[in-house]
């Protein structure tokens, strides 16, 4: 044997062992890696399974919560509860509202409520799995994304809501900051953005709202649009008169009169829309003839002569609470004749279309708030004439008067303005040579809007008699007389489109003289005209950010009233100082309204029957009806009731082992329509769903 060969073979002994050991090491590394990988995959699969189970369990809780909401509310317009919680056998742990959960809910809902949601077991076959829910009724809270941030106006924009009235906001500067930091996607984000602004967690604020139109009295009414100029409104005549009928104004004549009055209300001109309108109570903001008075004298003069003198006073009345810068003149026509056997030499000449400045432009009503009134005096005299003793002088008169703006007649007494329709009266007999008066003769109008009818028999004019209070020029006796039953004579016409539906209270309700000054009733102790339920103004229908009139938060309601200007007409506060609703009054108004809505209302017109509201803003009775009505007029457009909105806390729990369980929490937002659709279903959607712990 070759020794060399033997030596080389010995060098290779043990290689197989090394190879085996290497392979074993490699297999061990691969096995460990595979084991680790499989464990990771198993954990990932478990986590995925848990995530699916978590989401599905929370979805189960959400579905059960929605079903509970629907069952508990039914067709009611507003929930009767503040919270709705699952009912089971075991309490959810004490930390159900702690930690991050507290940043996602408004706390005013929970302040006076015992919160104790219970675990509910899932159906059979799912042992160890349970869920729970806590529904917070946020239907009456304020939408921080829209409400507030502006100054008070006429109640046409949700920015006018004074969020400073909320305890967590507290002042105007904080309210401005709350508006400046918009938008907010969640309450948690609101808390982060306004942490240095709000006093603690949000109590009365949410971040969503939606109030659809066309809902009142539990039905979809198809509200009629009232915005626009004369031409636009004329195109909606049928819809408007039908809505007036539905609101309780059932006489066709009254509906047509109100419609015509509406056109006059929005028309920008002071002139009648047609000449025949002078023979109707439709009126623009112009002075109106209210009283005429004639006095004649026979005076002896030196030289054995006498002179006859006639004085005519024409009083105008401007009942409008907002002044005007227009200039008006009074035109007077007086026909004078002698009553037999009066000789022609004693009869003064008639006057034809004698004009005088009304004094309206210098009396200053356009620099102050009306109403106002004044008179214009016309004098008719004749040169002295020789007389014969025992001659008698008795004069007969026919008189008409009209108000002119430029070359247009804007008011006429009578109408048609013809001699045949003038007032007729006769003076007393004077026997010469006595210097005597023929007496004061004249007429006073019961209601200047009806002044075209000069008949004193069943008409609108009252002749002077020694037994009544008439006959005092510039004293407005008709205001305090028995014939004027309403005791308030203020009027207002906008001369432009309506800003809110409450302005309908300025419109005269009927065309009959018996209605006197009665306007559409929206805020009264008697039955109201339910116009708030049937009309809408597009310019004031920002359907986000409104306040639910049935809210149980007095702070939220107070924010609607706080700073409200008690104006006689929209924009009055820009001309003169007016009273405002102070914070104490706003809280009192909120409490009074909440008492009314303990049984939730579903008609805005019911709001106008709350007599307590009227007494709160006018405790001493010094405010006019228009000023008192401003409480409703400037708040009704900020209130509604077509919203059910909820924030729901959801809990799910799974038992993993005897001493080990997993618990998950989520928060969801739910919006629901109080109005059922044609299928009898209340539309509902989940606005957001977020799992809070992973």
pLDDT in tens, 449-479: 888 888 766 667 877 654 344 334 444 444 4
Same domain, 442 and 315: yes
The per-residue pLDDT for range 275-296, each reduced to its tens digit, is 888 988 888 889 999 888 888 8
| 358 belongs to a structural domain | yes
Same domain, 40 and 54: no
| 232 belongs to a structural domain | yes
| 557 belongs to a structural domain | no
pLDDT band for position 615 (50/70/90)? confident
Q: What does the pLDDT read at residue 478? A: 45
| 537 belongs to a structural domain | no
Q: Is the Cα torsion angle 490, 496, 502, 507 positive or negative in sign?
A: positive
Q: Which of 50-64, 67-81, 220-234 has the highest mean pLDDT?
A: 67-81
Residue 507 burial (CB count, 10 A)? 22
Q: Please choose, from the candidates 415, 423, 511, the residue with its C-alpha nearest in 3D space to the C-alpha of residue 464.
A: 423
Reply yes or no on whether the pLDDT at 18 is more than 90: no
pLDDT band for position 220 (50/70/90)? low
Distance CA 502, CA 535 (A): 10
| 534 belongs to a structural domain | no
Q: Which residue has the higher pLDDT, 304 or 400?
A: 400
Q: What DSSP element (H or E) covers 445?
A: strand 436-445
Distances (CA, A) of 236 to 212, 219, 267: 22, 22, 16
Tokens of 313: 């006073």
Q: What does the pLDDT read at residue 126? A: 61
Tokens of 1: 């044997």
Same domain, 340 and 405: yes
Which pTM was predicted?
0.81
Three-state SS for 600-661 is CCCCHHHHHHCHHHHHHHCCCCCCCHHHHHHHHHCCHHHEECCCEEEEEEEEEEEEEECCEE
Tokens of 43: 């954990």
Same domain, 348 and 290: yes
Reply yes or no on whether the pLDDT at 190 is more than 80: yes
Q: What does the pLDDT read at residue 6? A: 55
Q: How far is CA 195 from the centre of its chain?
A: 33
CA atoms within 13 A on the CB side of 656: 11
Three-state SS for 223-243 is CEECCCCHHHHHCCHHHHHHH
Q: What DSSP element (H or E) covers 11?
A: helix 3-11
Distance CA 263, CA 259 (A): 6
Long-range contacts of 685-690, Cβ-Cβ distance < 8 Å, separation of 24 or more: 686/62, 686/66, 687/208, 688/186, 689/58, 689/62, 690/104, 690/186, 690/666
Residue in the structure block whose two tokens are 């197989």: 16
Distance CA 190, CA 201 (A): 9
Same domain, 461 and 325: yes
Q: Which domain holds residue 39?
A: 3-49
Please give the average per-residue pLDDT across 601-620, as a whole number. Answer: 83
Task: Say if CB 385 and CB 301 are below 8 A apart.
Answer: no
Tokens of 143: 């939408």
Q: Please choose, from the candidates 114, 164, 119, the residue with its C-alpha nearest in 3D space to the C-alpha of residue 142.
A: 164
Last residue of a domain, one of 480, 503, 538: 480
Reply yes or no on whether the pLDDT at 543 is more than 90: no
Q: What does the pLDDT read at residue 29? A: 77
Residue 324 burial (CB count, 10 A)? 21
Distance CA 482, CA 480 (A): 7
Three-state SS for 63-132 is HHHHHHHHHHHCCCCCCCCCEEECCCCEECCCCCCCHHHHHHCCHHHCCCCCCCCEEEECCCCCCCEEEE
| 119 belongs to a structural domain | yes
Tokens of 218: 């539990």
Same domain, 507 and 647: no
Task: Say if CB 519 and CB 561 are below 8 A apart.
Answer: no
Distance CA 41, CA 211 (A): 50
Please give the average per-residue pLDDT across 243-260, as a whole number. Answer: 91
Q: What does the pLDDT read at residue 481? A: 42
The per-residue pLDDT for range 420-451, each reduced to its tens digit, is 999 898 888 889 888 777 778 888 887 788 88
Could you say which DSSP state residue 197 is in?
T
DSSP labels for 494-545?
A: -SS--SSGGGGGGSB--SSGGGTT-B--SS-SSPPP-GGGTEE-GGG---SS
Q: Mark out the alpha helices in 267-310 (DSSP H runs).
A: none
| 592 belongs to a structural domain | no
Same domain, 291 and 422: yes
Same domain, 445 and 473: yes
The b-or-e profile of 334-362 (16+ CB within 10 A means b, else e) is bebebeeebeeebbbeebeeeeeebbbee
Reply yes or no on whether the pLDDT at 400 is more than 90: yes
Same domain, 73 and 30: no
Last residue of a domain, one of 498, 515, 532: 515
Q: What does the pLDDT read at residue 325? A: 79
Q: What does the pLDDT read at residue 255? A: 92
Reply yes or no on whether the pLDDT at 50 is more than 80: no
The b-or-e profile of 291-313 (16+ CB within 10 A means b, else e) is bbbbbbbbeeeeeeebbbbbbbb
Q: Cα angle at 94 between 89 and 96, to 5 degrees?
A: 90
Same domain, 351 and 411: yes
pLDDT band for position 68 (50/70/90)? very high
Q: Cα angle at 16 between 12 and 17, to 5 degrees?
A: 110
Q: What does the pLDDT read at residue 258? A: 92
Residue 34 burial (CB count, 10 A)? 10
Distance CA 460, CA 449 (A): 9
Reply yes or no on whether the pLDDT at 380 is more than 80: yes
What's phi and psi for 345, nearest 5 deg? -70, -20
Same domain, 43 and 59: no
The pLDDT > 90 percentage for the chain reads 35
Task: Say if CB 73 and CB 644 are below 8 A apart.
Answer: yes
Residue 21 burial (CB count, 10 A)? 10
Give me the number of domains the chain comprises: 4
| 383 belongs to a structural domain | yes
Same domain, 429 and 497: no
Distance CA 133, CA 115 (A): 11
């Amino acid at each position: 044997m070759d020794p060399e060969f033997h030596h080389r073979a010995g060098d290779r002994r043990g290689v197989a062992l090394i190879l085996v050991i290497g392979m074993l090491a490699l297999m061990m590394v691969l096995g460990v890696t595979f084991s680790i990988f499989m464990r990771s995959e198993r954990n990932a699969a478990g986590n995925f399974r848990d995530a699916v189970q978590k989401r599905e369990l929370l979805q189960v809780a959400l579905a059960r919560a929605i079903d509970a909401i629907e069952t508990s509310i039914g067709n009611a317009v507003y929930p009767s509860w503040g919270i709705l919680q699952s009912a089971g056998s075991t309490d959810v742990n004490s930390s159900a509202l702690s930690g991050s959960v507290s940043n996602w809910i408004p706390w005013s809902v929970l302040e006076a409520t015992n919160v104790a949601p219970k675990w509910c077991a899932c159906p059979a076959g799912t042992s160890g799995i349970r869920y729970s829910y806590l529904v917070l009724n946020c239907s009456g809270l304020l939408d921080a994304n829209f409400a507030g941030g502006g100054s008070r106006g006429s109640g046409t924009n949700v920015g006018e809501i004074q969020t400073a009235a909320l305890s967590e906001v507290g002042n105007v500067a904080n309210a401005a900051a709350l508006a400046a930091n918009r938008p907010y996607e969640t309450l948690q984000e609101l808390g982060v953005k306004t942490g240095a602004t709000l006093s603690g967690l949000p109590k009365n604020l949410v971040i969503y709202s939606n109030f659809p139109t066309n809902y009142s009295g539990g039905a979809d009414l198809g509200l009629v649009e009232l915005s626009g100029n004369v031409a636009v409104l004329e195109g909606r005549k049928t819809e408007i008169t039908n809505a007036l009928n539905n609101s309780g104004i059932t006489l066709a004549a009254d509906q047509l009169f109100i419609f015509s009055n509406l056109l006059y209300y929005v028309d920008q001109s002071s002139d009648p829309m047609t000449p025949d309108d002078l023979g109707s109570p439709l009126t623009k903001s112009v002075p109106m003839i209210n009283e005429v008075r004639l006095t004649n004298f026979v005076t002896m003069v030196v030289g054995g002569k006498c002179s006859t003198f006639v004085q005519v006073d024409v009083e105008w009345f401007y009942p409008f609470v907002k002044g005007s810068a227009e200039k008006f003149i009074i035109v007077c026509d007086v026909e004078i004749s002698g009553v037999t056997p009066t000789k022609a030499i004693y009869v003064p000449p008639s006057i034809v279309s004698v004009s005088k400045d009304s004094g309206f432009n210098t009396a200053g009503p356009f620099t102050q708030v009306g109403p106002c009134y004044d008179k214009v005096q016309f004098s008719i005299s004749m040169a002295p004439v020789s007389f014969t003793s025992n001659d008698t002088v008795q004069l007969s008169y026919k008189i008409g008067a009209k108000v002119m703006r430029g070359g247009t007649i804007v008011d006429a007494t009578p109408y048609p303005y013809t001699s045949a329709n003038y007032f007729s009266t006769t003076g007393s007999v004077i026997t010469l040579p006595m210097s005597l008066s023929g007496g004061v003769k004249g007429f006073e109008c019961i209601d200047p809007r009806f002044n075209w009818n000069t008949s004193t028999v069943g008409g609108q004019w009252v002749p002077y008699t020694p037994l009544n209070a008439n006959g005092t020029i510039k004293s407005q006796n008709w205001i305090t007389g028995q014939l004027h039953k309403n005791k308030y004579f203020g009027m207002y016409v906008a001369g432009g489109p309506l800003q809110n539906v409450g302005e309908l209270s300025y419109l005269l309700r009927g065309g009959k003289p018996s209605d006197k000054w009665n306007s559409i009733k929206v805020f009264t102790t008697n039955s109201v005209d339910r116009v708030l339920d049937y009309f809408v103004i597009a310019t004031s229908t920002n359907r986000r950010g409104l306040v639910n009139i049935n809210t149980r938060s007095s702070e939220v309601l107070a924010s609607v009233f706080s700073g409200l200007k008690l104006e006689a007409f929209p924009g009055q506060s820009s001309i003169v100082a007016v009273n405002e609703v102070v914070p104490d009054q706003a809280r009192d108004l909120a409490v009074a309204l909440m008492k009314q809505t303990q049984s939730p209302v579903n008609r805005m017109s019911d709001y106008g029957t709350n007599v307590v509201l009227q007494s709160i803003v006018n405790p001493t009775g010094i405010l006019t009806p228009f000023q008192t009505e401003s409480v409703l007029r400037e708040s009704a457009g900020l209130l509604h009731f077509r919203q059910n909105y909820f924030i729901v806390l959801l809990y799910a729990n799974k038992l993993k082992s005897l001493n080990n369980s997993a618990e998950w929490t989520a928060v969801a937002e739910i919006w629901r329509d109080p109005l059922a659709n044609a299928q009898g279903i209340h539309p509902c959607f989940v606005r957001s769903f977020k799992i809070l712990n992973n």
